Amino acid sequence: MKIILGTSNFGAPYGISNPRKKLSTNEIKKILKIAKVNKISFLDTAYNYKNSEKIIGKFTNTDDFRIITKLPKIKNNLSLIESYIKKSLKRLRRKKLYAVLVHSIEDLNSPNLKKILHELNLFKKKKLIKKIGVSVYKVDNLNKIIKKNKIDIVQFPSSIFDLRFLNTNLLSKLKMRKIEILVRSIFLQGVIFLNSKKLKKKFKKDSKKIIEFKENLKNDRDKMINYCLSFINNYKDIDGIVLGIKEPKNLLQIISNNKRVSIKNVNKYAINNENILIPYNWKRIE
C-alpha cells in the first residue's frame, strides 16, 4: 500500500495537534528529500491549501512526485474549473496532474456534481489529468455519487476509530468499479497524540475510546503509529494512505513503523459520533 504525503501544512499550520507556526523552508526540503529517498512518489495538496501548490512547484522536479490536488467550491460557475486547473498546473510547475478531486461539501451534495465531473473529464481527455474523483466525508454521500457518476479515484477518512466506510460493502463496490481508494485521517488529524487532559476537555465522553487506545499502547508514539498503519494495511482493497506530518522526524517515524501487525478486534476502538470523526464538526463542540 502506497504512502501519500499530505502537504496541507506546507503553507500554514494544519490540524488540531499542530498549533505551531508553519513548516520552514528547510523542514519542507528535508521532508521532500526523506519522501523521495524512501520512494514515496505521491503528494496530496489542494488549491486552497495556502501556498502549498507553489511550494511543491518550487522545491520538486516534475519527475519527483505525482500530484493529487483538490478543487475549491465551484457551485454553478463551471468556468472556474478551467481557471483553477490552469492555475494549479502553473503553481505546481507541472504539465499534468495525477488526479483532481471535488472536495467542497456543497459541491459533493449538489445536483451540479455531474456537470463538474463532466468538465473535469474534458481535461482528462486532453491528458492534463489522469484521474478524476471525489474527496468525501460521509458514506451515504459516496454511495449516491458512485451510483450516478463515473469516477476514477476516491478519498475518505478511515481509522481504528472511524469504521463508517469500512464496515459496509463500499470497498468491494468501489473495487468492482475499478475506483482507486485512498484513505486519510488515520491518526484523526493528530488527535491521538494529544494528552488525555486535552482530549477530555475537547471531546468530553467521546474521548474515552481514544484514551483507552493510548493507555493500552502505553502512550508510545511508535506503537500507536504502527497500530494505526497496520489497521489500514490489513484492508487489501485500499490503495493508499494520505498522511500529514508536522516535522521531518514524524515522516521518519511513519516510515520506520510501517510494518503490518495483526489486528484481532477491529471494532475495539470504534467511535460512532460524527462530531469527533469529522473535523469540520470540531468547532461546534468547543
CA dihedral 19, 23, 27, 31 (to 10 degrees): 90
**Rounded mean pLDDT of the chain?**
92
Per-residue model confidence (pLDDT) at position 147: 95
Residue 14 has pLDDT above 80, yes or no: no
Yes or no: say if 28 and 55 are a contact pair by the CB < 8 Å rule.
yes
Please give the grid coordinates belonging to residue 284. Answer: 461546534
Tell me the per-residue pLDDT of 30-49, one tens digit each, with 9 for 90 and over: 999 999 999 999 999 999 99
Which of 140, 265, 282 lies closest to 206, judged by CA?
282
pTM for this prediction: 0.94
Please give the grid coordinates belonging to residue 267. Answer: 471494532
Per-residue model confidence (pLDDT) at position 13: 62
Yes or no: say if 70 and 88 are a contact pair by the CB < 8 Å rule.
no
Of the pLDDT bands very low, low, confident and very high (cuts 50, 70, 90), residue 282 is: confident
Of the pLDDT bands very low, low, confident and very high (cuts 50, 70, 90), residue 285 is: very low
Tell me the per-residue pLDDT of 135-190, one tens digit each, with 9 for 90 and over: 999 999 999 999 999 999 999 999 999 999 999 999 999 999 999 999 999 999 99
Residue 1 has pLDDT above 90, yes or no: no
Tell me the per-residue pLDDT of 78-101, one tens digit each, with 9 for 90 and over: 999 999 999 999 999 999 999 999
Which of 48, 50, 110, 99 lies closest to 75, judged by CA?
110
Residue 15 has pLDDT above 70, yes or no: no
Per-residue model confidence (pLDDT) at position 286: 43
CB atoms within 10 A of CB 168: 13
Per-residue model confidence (pLDDT) at position 17: 52
Please give the grid coordinates belonging to residue 29. Answer: 526540503
Per-residue model confidence (pLDDT) at position 280: 81
Report phi then psi at 204, rounded to 5.
55, -130
| Average pLDDT estimate for 262-286 | 82
Counting residues of the chain whose pLDDT is more than 90, the rounded percentage is 82
